[in-house]
Structure 1
Amino acid sequence: MASSVTPWWKALKIRQEILSASGQIDDVQMSLFQAVHGLGADKPPYADAAYYGEITHPTERLTDLLTEIAVRIGGGPDYLKSRSVTRLDQGMGGGKSHACIGAFHLAAHPEALFSTELGQRVAARAKTKVGHDLPTDLNRPHVVVLPCDNMTPGAPVQELDGPAVNLYERFLWRLFSKDYSLFERYQPFWSDKSKIAEAIKAVNRPVLIIIDEVLDYIGNGLEGAKKPDLIAQDMAFLRALLDVVNDVPHVAMLVVMIASDRDKIALSAGAQARRDDLNSLLERNGTPATVTEVGDFADILRRRLFDAEPAAEVLAATAAIYRPVLDDKAWTKNVWGAAGSDWRARWDEEVAACYPFHPMLMAIAKEEWSKVTGFQRVRSTIRIFAATVYAQQQRGKAGEWVPALIGPGDLPLSDSAVREALLGSGLVEDERTISNYRSLAEIEVVNNDGTAGTARRQDIERQALPWTAVNPRVAERAATFVFLTSIVGTLRPGRGRGASAPEVKAATNVPDISYTVTDADAVIEDLVNPDRGMSAVEIIPGQGNNKPARYFLSTRLTHRMLVNNIRRTITETERDRVIAEFTQRLASSGPFRDLKFVKAESERTATEVLATAGLDTAHTSRLIVLDPAQYSLRNGMEEASLAALTVAMGLGKGTQQLPVQWASSAVYAIVNTQRRALARGVATEYLARRKALAAPEVQNDDELKATGTKELASAKEQLEKTLKRAYQHVVYLAQPDPDGERYLDQLTFDDEHSSALDGTIVWKALAERDKVFDVGQFGPKALLHNLRDSDYGRTLSDIRAAFYSAPRLPLLYGGDRDLQQVIFDAVAAGLIDIVDGAGGVVAVTAANQVNLASAGLRLAKPKPKTCPICGQLVHQGACEGTSGGGTGGSAGSETGGGTDQNGGEEGSGPTLPGTTCTSCGKPVHDGACQVPPSAAEKKVAFSFTRNLLANPDDADNFAALFKSLYMALDERNISYLQGTLQLVVDADIAGNLKQRLGELGINGTMTDV
Structure 2
Amino acid sequence: MAKSVTPWWKALQIRKEIINASGQIDDVQMSLFQAVHGVAATRPPYADAAYYGSITHPTERLVDLLTEIAIRLGGESDYLKARAVTRLDQGMGGGKSHACIGAFHLAAHPEALLQTELGRQVAAHAASRLGRPIASDLSKPHVVVLPCDNMTPGAPVKELDGPAETLYERFLWRLFGKDYSLFERYQPFWNDKSKIAEAIRAVNRPVLILVDEILDYIGNGLDGADKPDLAAQDVAFLRALLDVVNDVPHVAMLVVMIASDKDSIALSPAAQQRRDDLNALLDRNGFPATVTEVGDFADILRRRLFEAEPPVEVLRATAEMYRGALEDKAWSKNVWDAISADWRRNWADEVAACYPFHPMLIGIAKNEWSKVTGFQRVRSTIRIFAATVYAHQQRGHAGEWVPALIGPGDLPLSDNAVREALLGSGLVEDERTISNYRSLAENEVVNAKRDGGIARMQDLERGPIMWAEANPFAAERAATFVFLASIIGTLRPGRGRGASAPEVKAATSVADSLYTVTDADSVVEELINTDRGMSAVEIIPGRGNNQPARYFLSTRLTHRMLVNNIKRTITDTERDEVIAQFAARLSSSGPFRELKFVTADPSRTAKEVLSTAGIDNAHVNRLIVLDPAQFSLRNGMEQATMEALTTAMGLGRGVDQLPVQWASSAVYAVVNTQRRGNVRGIAVEYLARQKALAAPEVQGDDELKATGTKELSAAKEQLEKALKRAYQHVVFLAQPDPDGERVVQDYTFDSDNLTALDGTMVWKALAERDKVFDAAQFTAKALVHNLRDQDYGRSLSEIRSAFYNAPRLPLLYGGDSDLQHAIYDAVVNDQIRIVDGSGNDVAVTAPAQVNLTSAGLRLARPIPPCPTCGIAEEDHLCSEPAEVDTTGNDSTTASESSTESTTGTAGKGRTVAPATAATQASSSSDVAETAPEKQVAFSFTSNVLNQDSAADDFAAIFRQLYLTLDERQVSYLQGTLSLVMDADAAQTLAEKVSEAGLNVTTRDM
Q: Supply the AA of the counterpart residue of 1:193.
A: K
Are the counterparts in 2 of residues 682 and 715 from structure 1 also a CA contact under 8 Å? no
Match of 1:384 in 2: 384
Are the counterparts in 1 of residues 189 and 196 from structure 2 also a CA contact under 8 Å? yes
1:595 aligns with 2:592: no
CA positional deviation for 1:357? 0.6
Match of 1:582 in 2: 582
Q: Distance in 2 between matches of 1:794 and 1:250?
A: 95
1:736-784 deviations in Å (ceiling 9; x for gaps): xx9xxx9999999999999986778999999999x98989x9999x999
From the superposition, tell whether residues 573 and 388 of structure 1 become closer, same or farther in structure 2 (CA, over 3 Å): farther
Are the counterparts in 2 of residues 70 and 138 from structure 1 also a CA contact under 8 Å? no
CA positional deviation for 1:837? 6.7
CA positional deviation for 1:689? 4.0
Match of 1:499 in 2: 499
Are the counterparts in 2 of residues 566 and 688 from structure 1 also a CA contact under 8 Å? no
Q: Distance in 1 between matches of 2:543 and 2:6?
A: 43
Q: Distance in 2 between matches of 1:222 and 1:280?
A: 19
Aligned with 2:551: secondary structure? strand
Match of 1:145 in 2: 144
The 5 Å alignment of 1:149-228 reads: 149=148, 150-154=150-154, 166-172=166-172, 174-175=174-175, 186-201=186-201, 207-228=207-228
% identical equivalent positions: 72
CA positional deviation for 1:507? 1.5
From the superposition, tell whether residues 646 and 24 of structure 1 become closer, same or farther in structure 2 (CA, over 3 Å): closer
CA positional deviation for 1:227? 4.7
Q: Supply the AA of the counterpart residue of 2:255.
A: V
1:465 aligns with 2:496: no
Worse overlay, 424-433 or 358-367: 424-433
CA positional deviation for 1:103? 3.5
Q: Supply the AA of the counterpart residue of 2:691.
A: A
Match of 2:276 in 1: 276
Aligned with 1:409: secondary structure? coil
CA positional deviation for 1:546? 4.0
From the superposition, tell whether residues 137 and 176 of structure 1 become closer, same or farther in structure 2 (CA, over 3 Å): farther
Q: Distance in 2 between matches of 1:533 and 1:684?
A: 33
1:163-222 deviations in Å (ceiling 9; x for gaps): 655444554555556667766665554433344445545666655443332223333344
Match of 1:408 in 2: 408
Q: Supply the AA of the counterpart residue of 2:134.
A: P
Q: Distance in 2 between matches of 1:281 and 1:388?
A: 43
Match of 1:688 in 2: 685
Q: Distance in 1 between matches of 2:362 and 2:235?
A: 44
1:484 aligns with 2:481: no
Are the counterparts in 1 of residues 435 and 561 from structure 2 also a CA contact under 8 Å? no
Q: Supply the AA of the counterpart residue of 1:514.
A: L
Match of 2:953 in 1: none
Worse overlay, 307-316 or 436-445: 436-445
Match of 1:704 in 2: 704
From the superposition, tell whether residues 323 and 646 of structure 1 become closer, same or farther in structure 2 (CA, over 3 Å): same
From the superposition, tell whether residues 550 and 47 of structure 1 become closer, same or farther in structure 2 (CA, over 3 Å): same
Q: Supply the AA of the counterpart residue of 2:132.
A: D
Aligned with 2:704: secondary structure? helix
From the superposition, tell whether residues 446 and 820 of structure 1 become closer, same or farther in structure 2 (CA, over 3 Å): same
Q: Distance in 1 between matches of 2:609 and 2:817?
A: 33
From the superposition, tell whether residues 678 and 744 of structure 1 become closer, same or farther in structure 2 (CA, over 3 Å): closer
1:542-583 deviations in Å (ceiling 9; x for gaps): 455444443333455755688799999999999998666434
Number of corresponding residues:
888
Worse overlay, 316-325 or 64-73: 64-73
From the superposition, tell whether residues 534 and 115 of structure 1 become closer, same or farther in structure 2 (CA, over 3 Å): same
Are the counterparts in 2 of residues 208 and 251 from structure 1 also a CA contact under 8 Å? yes
Q: Distance in 1 between matches of 2:415 and 2:695?
A: 31
Match of 2:351 in 1: 351
Q: Supply the AA of the counterpart residue of 1:355.
A: Y
Are the counterparts in 1 of residues 482 and 552 from structure 2 also a CA contact under 8 Å? yes
Are the counterparts in 2 of residues 166 and 233 from structure 1 also a CA contact under 8 Å? yes
Q: Supply the AA of the counterpart residue of 2:387.
A: A
The 5 Å alignment of 1:403-802 reads: 403-529=403-529, 533-556=533-556, 559=559, 581-589=581-589, 593-597=593-597, 617-620=617-620, 622=622, 685=682, 687-695=684-692, 700-701=697-698, 702=701, 703-717=703-717, 720=720, 797=797
Q: Distance in 1 between matches of 2:107 and 2:732?
A: 78
CA positional deviation for 1:601? 12
Match of 1:342 in 2: 342
Are the counterparts in 2 of residues 196 and 241 from structure 1 also a CA contact under 8 Å? yes
Unaligned runs of 5+ in 1: 862-929, 963-978, 982-1004
Q: Distance in 1 between matches of 2:464 and 2:513?
A: 17
From the superposition, tell whether residues 406 and 594 of structure 1 become closer, same or farther in structure 2 (CA, over 3 Å): same
Worse overlay, 564-573 or 404-413: 564-573
Match of 1:331 in 2: 331
From the superposition, tell whether residues 860 and 173 of structure 1 become closer, same or farther in structure 2 (CA, over 3 Å): closer
The 5 Å alignment of 1:54-133 reads: 54-73=54-73, 79-108=79-108, 113=113, 115-123=115-123, 125-126=125-126, 129=129, 132-133=131-132
Q: Distance in 2 between matches of 1:10 and 1:488?
A: 33
From the superposition, tell whether residues 291 and 677 of structure 1 become closer, same or farther in structure 2 (CA, over 3 Å): closer
Tell me the C-alpha RMSD between the 2 structures.
Answer: 6.5
CA positional deviation for 1:404? 0.5
Q: Supply the AA of the counterpart residue of 1:496.
A: G
From the superposition, tell whether residues 708 and 840 of structure 1 become closer, same or farther in structure 2 (CA, over 3 Å): same
Are the counterparts in 2 of residues 440 and 561 from structure 1 also a CA contact under 8 Å? no
Q: Distance in 2 between matches of 1:136 and 1:83?
A: 18
Q: Distance in 2 between matches of 1:75 and 1:308?
A: 33
Match of 1:25 in 2: 25
From the superposition, tell whether residues 306 and 823 of structure 1 become closer, same or farther in structure 2 (CA, over 3 Å): closer
CA positional deviation for 1:514? 1.9
From the superposition, tell whether residues 200 and 455 of structure 1 become closer, same or farther in structure 2 (CA, over 3 Å): same
Q: Supply the AA of the counterpart residue of 1:381.
A: T
Match of 2:264 in 1: 264
Aligned with 1:288: secondary structure? strand
CA positional deviation for 1:297? 0.9
From the superposition, tell whether residues 679 and 225 of structure 1 become closer, same or farther in structure 2 (CA, over 3 Å): closer
TM-score (normalised: structure 2): 0.69
Q: Distance in 2 between matches of 1:778 and 1:45?
A: 70
Q: Distance in 2 between matches of 1:433 and 1:616?
A: 53
Q: Distance in 2 between matches of 1:750 and 1:63?
A: 63
Q: Distance in 1 between matches of 2:470 and 2:662?
A: 77
Q: Distance in 2 between matches of 1:728 and 1:90?
A: 53
Q: Distance in 2 between matches of 1:160 and 1:428?
A: 39
Q: Distance in 2 between matches of 1:92 and 1:691?
A: 33
Q: Supply the AA of the counterpart residue of 1:506.
A: A
Q: Supply the AA of the counterpart residue of 1:101.
A: I
Aligned with 1:313: secondary structure? helix
Are the counterparts in 2 of residues 682 and 718 from structure 1 also a CA contact under 8 Å? no
Match of 2:242 in 1: 242
Unaligned runs of 5+ in 2: 862-909, 914-925, 937-955, 974-995, 999-1005
Q: Distance in 2 between matches of 1:460 and 1:91?
A: 43
Q: Distance in 1 between matches of 2:416 and 2:207?
A: 46
CA positional deviation for 1:489? 4.2
1:323-381 deviations in Å (ceiling 9; x for gaps): 22223333333333333433234333321221111111111111111111122211221
Q: Supply the AA of the counterpart residue of 1:471.
A: N
